[in-house]
Amino acid sequence: MPPGPRRSPAARSSERSPRGPASAPGRIRIIGGQWKRTPLDVPAVPGLRPTPDRVRETLFNWLGQSLDGWRCLDLFAGTGALGLEAASRGACRVVMVERDRAACRSIADTMARLSAGGQVELIEGEAQRALETLKRRGEPPFDLVFLDPPFSEDWIERLLPDLEAAVSRAGLVYAEAGRPIGDPPPGWRLERSGCAGQVHYHLLRRMGPTEELHHGESRLPRNL
């Protein structure tokens, strides 16, 4: 079970904008862990907008710098920046899902360069189908799920109810959107949120039945 997210200063503004036709930067980098400073290619995929370094730094300050033993799922992998960052910081298993073939080739090349195949699995396909596949094959629940979908398709609202079976009790979901997501559906608590430019990012925790009865009370450890 992952620990409570740690406090961090709010992220400063970044260059990221919602996924759209504008071109993405040619390269980003892994910012922490064993693969720190490893460059990641940003393929020429229409609308691809990787999570910038500054926002990822805020996220992993919330989570804690080490993810030793965590199981992570990235349902809209894009460049692979979030999933590979988690693997670099010690996650024992990372499953990345991406529907674009060119983006998958780029991620696969990076995985080969890092010899990450034993730690990271790449699935080419749609997020919803990938969840069904993982369920059919009996994949254990994940401690952390990344959701960075195209902003125009309302993926977060559509997927959150289905993620309860894929996320461990007290597990976390990190979600990016073009607007604040508002009140999460029953069974989820919004733990942290921030805004960088036009990107709103959120950290949600899956709640157990007892926690839902006391939804107004903070569940973060007192020392955070």
Distance CA 157, CA 187 (A): 13
pLDDT in tens, 47-56: 788 888 889 9
Q: What is the pTM of this model?
A: 0.82
Question: How much is the pLDDT for 8?
Answer: 40
pLDDT in tens, 158-176: 888 889 889 999 999 999 9
Q: What tokens does 58 get?
A: 């805020």
Residue 22 has pLDDT above 50, yes or no: no
Residue 27 has pLDDT above 90, yes or no: no
Mean confidence (pLDDT) of the chain: 83
Distance CA 182, CA 186 (A): 12
Residue 17 has pLDDT above 60, yes or no: no
Residue 198: how many other CB atoms lie within 10 Å: 15
Domains along the chain with CATH numbers: 27-213 (3.40.50.150)
Distance CA 82, CA 174 (A): 10
User: Measured in whole angstroms, how far is the alpha carbon of residue 166 from the centre of its chain?
Assistant: 14
Question: Which residues on adjacent β-strands are paired with residue 172?
Answer: 144, 205
3-state secondary structure of 60: helix
Question: How large is the average pLDDT for residues 25-45?
Answer: 89
The DSSP letter of residue 112 is H
Asked if 35 and 84 count as a contact pair (C-beta separation under 8 A), the reply is: yes
Question: How much is the pLDDT for 3?
Answer: 55
Question: How large is the average pLDDT for residues 129-134?
Answer: 95
Q: pLDDT band for 140, please (50, 70, 90 cuts).
A: very high
Question: How much is the pLDDT for 211?
Answer: 57
Question: How much is the pLDDT for 47?
Answer: 77
Q: Strand 71-74's sheet: what is its strand order?
A: 120-124, 93-98, 71-74, 142-147, 167-177, 199-206, 188-196
pLDDT in tens, 184-193: 888 899 999 9
Q: pLDDT band for 11, please (50, 70, 90 cuts).
A: very low
Question: How much is the pLDDT for 56?
Answer: 93
pLDDT in tens, 63-119: 988 999 999 999 999 999 999 999 999 999 999 999 999 999 999 999 999 999 999
Question: How large is the average pLDDT for residues 2-20?
Answer: 41
Of 46, 94, 50, the C-alpha closest to 68 is: 94
Of 213, 72, 81, the C-alpha closest to 148 is: 81
Question: How much is the pLDDT for 48?
Answer: 85
